Amino acid sequence: MRSRSASAVAGIAAIALMATACGSDGDTGGGDEGSAEGTLVIWSDPERADAIQSAAADFAEANGIEVDVQNVSFDDIQGDIVNAHQAGNAPDVFIGAHDWAGNLLRNGTVQPIELPADRAEALDETAVEAMTLEGQLLGVPYAQENIFLMRNTELAPDAPETFEELVEVGNELKDAGDTSEVLAMAVGQEGDPFRMNALMTSAGGYLFGQDDNGDWDPEDLGIGSDETIEAMETIAEYGEEGEEVLRRSIDLENEASLFFDGESPFFVAGPWNIGDANTSDIDYEISAIPGFDGMDPASPYIGYQGFFVTEGSANSALAEEFVVNYVSDSDFVQTLYEADPRTPVQSEALAAVSEEDPNIALMAETGENGMPMPNIPEMGETWEPLGVAQAQIIGGADPREAMETAHETVAERIGQ
């Protein structure tokens, strides 16, 4: 999951590019100008475009239309959709992450969806709730992803029950010269709040509070709270001036290689690493990220991906028909799974793929203590300040000073 907030800075350039590149040949970027009736235009990342095109073939034939799946980098879809909608050349349907919902709704980019009860009942309830904002279902989820602990079973036969146990085992292996790292967990120079949330929540920290209805409350910003500062003080004990388990030199570029080269017995991984794990020489197992001894369970963020209908689409009825009746269909979800193995949230599809790959059921289990990433618009303003503060703390900065500075920055950005 690599979500980000929409970038208004690149808007003019993106609109100009899409306006000149639009067409129906399925090449990169852009959509038709208010996609022509008779052609349902879908934006997808290249990894899933062919699978969506294939899975949509029956829908196209049944409705006497063409389905044109166009490739857009997943990291660019959210910002490009907002810009294309404003310019009047957005697609009818697009794939996206649930935590985009707030920004998309704020920009008037998405059309709420009515999902029949029988279709909703076949989907994971939390996934549907994650796609819901202000009482409106804004997208139909089809898959979830969350991070988990992957371990080299030759080096670490048993899953650690606590983070302290993980550190103890890792240090023993490191001291014996069997490995060079205790844990491969990306921090980087700018931090990684997506991964760090698992440890921060175990130690009692939080980003946003929730109201009595369970909705995320941007007025309850917890970055500079005593609870979160104390959590980061606990995490700092494992930083560069402590146990040296968490280090800024470990980032997204080298975390996987440390594990697959046998330099670390443990790896905070995600479903995107399973393919490489299966082709590696490492015997591995996955389990939940362990929390701190005597504290709360680690609560990793859960991301849900699904399909949205663009507000004002020329083919809105067909677009909603596709999203409601095809995206929630087991065969469609399994086709996408084969192209991009993420844990299905459709019950029949989950059962089917779990029979083929037990890791899928395990990945779902490792998310049982997780939390859906907040889907409110304010979420996008937290990543950079929070990540930088966490990286500074890992490097030895004072936790209170770093977190209070980050809190002030985020509060200003979200208008508090």
pLDDT tens sequence across 249-268: 999 999 999 999 999 999 99
Confidence band for 32, pLDDT divided at 50, 70 and 90: very low
Please write the tens of the pLDDT for every residue from 119-166. Answer: 999 999 999 999 999 899 999 999 999 999 999 999 999 999 999 999
Query: Is the model's pLDDT at 23 over the cut of 80?
Result: no
**DSSP for 160-227, written as a single string:** -SSHHHHHHHHHHHHHTTS-S-SEE----TT--HHHHHHHHHHTT--SEEE-TTS-EEEEEE-TTSHH
Nearest-10 crossing angle of helices 383-394, 226-236: 40
Q: In this structure, how many other beta carbons lie within 10 angstroms of the beta carbon of residue 87?
A: 18
Instruction: For 328-365, write each residue's pLDDT tens digit.
Output: 999 999 999 988 888 999 999 999 999 988 888 899 88
CB 372 within 8 A of CB 301: yes
Average pLDDT score over residue span 6-24: 33
Mind listing the domains of the chain with CATH numbers? 11-145+303-372 (3.40.190.10), 146-301+375-413 (3.40.190.10)
Angle 237-266-179 (CA atoms, 0-180°, nearest 5)? Answer: 90
- As a whole number, the mean pLDDT across the chain is 90
Over residues 184-210, mean pLDDT: 97
User: What is the Cα–Cα distance from 362 to 193, expressed in whole angstroms?
Assistant: 23
Burial of 413 (0-12, 13-18, 19+ CB in 10 A): middle
The pLDDT value given to residue 314: 87
Residue that wins the pLDDT comparison between 37 and 195: 195
Q: Classify residue 337 as exposed, middle or buried by CB count within 10 Å of its CB (0-12, 13-18, 19+).
A: buried
Question: Which residue type is seen at 395?
Answer: G
Q: Tell me: pLDDT of 240 over 80.
A: yes
Task: For residue 56, give the 3-state DSSP assignment.
Answer: coil
Of the candidates 373, 310, 307, 303, the residue with the CA atom closest to the CA atom of residue 104: 310
pLDDT at position 37 is: 59
Q: Nearest-CA neighbor of 92 among 119, 70, 115, 116?
A: 70
**pLDDT one-digit tens code per residue, 74-113:** 999 999 999 999 999 999 999 999 999 999 999 999 999 9
Alpha helices in 214-329 (DSSP H): 226-236, 255-260, 274-279, 316-325
Task: Identify the burial level of 317 via C-beta atoms within 10 angstroms of its C-beta, where 0-12 means exposed, 13-18 middle and 19 or more buried.
Answer: exposed
Residue 24 confidence (pLDDT) above 70 = no
What is the pLDDT averaged over residues 385-397? 98
- Tell me if 267 sits within 8 A of 258, measured CB to CB: yes
Q: What is the mean pLDDT of residues 36-48?
A: 87
- CB proximity list for 38: less than 8 A, separation 6 or greater: 65, 66
Q: With 90 as the cut, is the pLDDT of residue 34 above it?
A: no
Which range is least confidently modeled, 9-13, 91-95, 324-328, 406-410?
Answer: 9-13
pTM given for the model: 0.83
CB 86 within 8 A of CB 286: no
* Contact between residue 151 and residue 287 where contact means Cβ atoms under 8 Å apart: yes
More confident residue, 55 or 297: 297
Residue 101's pLDDT is 94
> Is the confidence at residue 16, as pLDDT, over 60?
no
| Between residues 214 and 119, the one the model is more confident about | 119
pLDDT at 277 (0 to 100): 95
- Cβ partners under 8 Å of residue 79, min gap 6: 4, 6, 7, 10, 11, 14
